[in-house]
Amino acid sequence: MTFAQTLGRRAEQIDAELANLFVSGAAAATPSRLREAMRHALLGGGKRVRPFLVVESAGLFGAPFEQASAAAAAVECIHCYSLAHDDLPAMDNDETRRGRPTVWKAFDDWTAILAGDGLLTLAFEILAAPPAHPDATVRAELALLLARASGPAGMVGGQALDLAWEKLEQSGQATADQVRELQAMKTGALITCACEMGAVVGGADEDGRRALRTYGNALGFAFQIADDLLDAEGDPAKTGKAVAKDQALGKATLVELWGAARCRDLLAQLQDECRAALDPFGAKAATLIAAAEFVANRDR
C-alpha cells in the first residue's frame, strides 16, 4: 500500500467519524440550516492530514483507531471551522475550496460565521465528553492542547497577523522571522498539536510527547514551505486553486524571501528532522516518516 493509499483509507475512517457527529453524535440536535452548513464545512473532502496525524501518533504508543478517533475528529472540526471563517468575504474572500463553493458562498455570511462557531465549540464538546477517553485527566489535557494551539496565541493569532499584513497596508516587507512566526502560529501550531494529542491519547510519557512535538514542528514547517512552493510554482489543475494568489496579494512567503532553491533545501533538512525525532520508535514510525516525505513532495 502506498502512503497515499494509507492516507486515503484513514480519511475514509475519519469521514465516517465526522459524518456520524450529525447522526448520533454531539451535533445531532443542531437546527437544520446550521447543521447543513456545518456538514458542508466539515464533510467537503480534504486529505484529513491533521486527524491522520492524531491517529498515527496515538498508534505509535499502541492506541487503536477507536481510542484516537474523537481527538482526531475534534482537530478536524477546528481546521474546518478556520477554513469556513477564513474564506469569508470579510477575511480572504474565497469563493471555492476543494472544487466546491465555500460555506458563505453556498449559504451566506451569517450562516458561515455560525457554522464556524458551531464547529469550534463542537470540537471541545467532543474532547470533554467521556467517550473521548475514559480518563478525565487525558480529556482535559487534550482540550488544553487544542485550545492553546488554535486560540489567540496560536491559529487565530496567526490569522490575525496575516490579515493585518494584508489589509492594514503595513509599511515595508515582512522579514523572514515575521513570516516564520506567522506561519508557525497559523498553520504549524495545529499540526504540532495533532501529533502531541495523539501521544497523549496513547499515554506517552514526557519523552514521547517531546518527540512527537519535535516531529510535528518540523512537519508543520515543511507543510507550509511545500504549500508556498506550490502556490508559487504549482499547477492549478492539480491544486484546485488559483496559483500565485499569495504573490498577487503581496503576502510575503519564505519562497519569495529566500528563493525556491533554498526552500527546497530546507524541506530536505526538515524531513531529516522528522526522521531523527522518530528514530527511537524504529519501524513503527514508518507511516509518520512517509507522511513527512509526502508533505514535502506533494504536488497538490
153 binds a second copy (CB under 8 A): yes
CB 245 within 8 A of CB 166: no
Residue located via cell numbers 465549540: 121
Q: Which residue in the set 4, 16, 19, 90 belongs to the binding site for a second copy (CB under 8 A)?
A: 90
What's the closest the beta carbon of residue 70 comes to a second copy, in angstroms?
Answer: 12
- Indicate whether 30 belongs to the interface with a second copy (CB under 8 A): yes
| Residue number, 144 or 276, with CB nearest to a second copy | 144
159 binds a second copy (CB under 8 A): yes
Give the integer Cα–Cα distance in Å for 272 and 32. 48
- Binds a second copy by CB under 8 A, chosen from 20, 35, 214, 273: 35
State the alpha helices, DSSP H only, in the chain.
3-20, 32-42, 49-60, 65-86, 103-106, 109-128, 136-150, 155-167, 176-183, 189-201, 206-233, 236-239, 245-248, 254-258, 260-278, 286-297
d(CA 151, CA 172): 28
**Does 203 participate in binding a second copy (rule CB under 8 A)?**
no
Q: How far is the CB of 297 from a second copy (least distance, A)?
A: 33
Residue 101 in contact with a second copy, rule: CB under 8 A:
no
Rule CB under 8 A: is residue 106 a binding residue for a second copy? no
Figure out which of the listed residues 1, 24, 31, 169 binds a second copy, where binding follows CB under 8 A. Answer: 31
Work out which of 6, 8, 15, 151 binds a second copy, going by CB under 8 A.
151
Q: Among 11, 43, 106, 113, which residue interacts with a second copy (rule: CB under 8 A)?
A: 113
- Cα 87 to Cα 100: distance, rounded to the nearest angstrom: 12
Q: Which residues, in sequence order, are CB contacts of 81 under 8 Å at separation 6+?
A: 41, 115, 116, 117, 118, 119, 120, 123
Q: Which is nearer to a second copy, 162 or 256 (CB)?
A: 162
What is the closest distance, in whole angstroms, from the C-beta atom of residue 146 to a second copy in the complex? 8
